[in-house]
Amino acid sequence: MTAGALLFDPGRAMRWLIFCISLLLLWNGRANARPEDLKREIEAQQAAVSDLQRLDDRGAVTDELTLLRDWLDNAWGQYSKEEYDRVREILDRCIAQAELIRQKITAAHQKARADEREAAVRASRDKLERTKQALQQSLIKKKALEMNAK
């Protein structure tokens, strides 16, 4: 196997190409979006903020949600000024922020789940240790009774 074969992975190259094409299509679709489409996208993202807030039952991303709301308010301001290119930039940033929020919420849920499991393991270990001690005490008592019976 040559060094060139190790550096070029056709599967990886194909994934990279698909990723680049997807970004280009996304950017091109946004660049040609009509003002009505931008308005709908702002409204959709504002509705998504409410959904994200409901998902954040542990309060892990309150600062990020506030920032996202501020950015969407800014997008409305730019929309009213008919600065549609700026609105597109802000919406791209909002999409990335929403994804970050989703990931942080998921991480918070997973951490809480792991903490619950760790607590259950600790409780089981404590119970096991108490049972071992009780068994040891029972064996000592049994030996003592056997010695007294002889």
Q: What is the pLDDT of residues 87-135, one digit of tens each?
A: 999 999 999 999 999 999 999 999 999 999 999 999 999 999 999 999 9
pLDDT at 5: 46
What is the value of pTM for the model shown? 0.64
pLDDT at 6: 46
Cα–Cα distance for residue pair 61/109, rounded to 1 Å: 12
So where are the chain's domains?
34-145
User: Would you place residue 59 in the very low, low, confident or very high pLDDT band (cuts 50, 70, 90)?
Assistant: confident
Cα–Cα distance for residue pair 112/105, rounded to 1 Å: 11
pLDDT at 3: 46
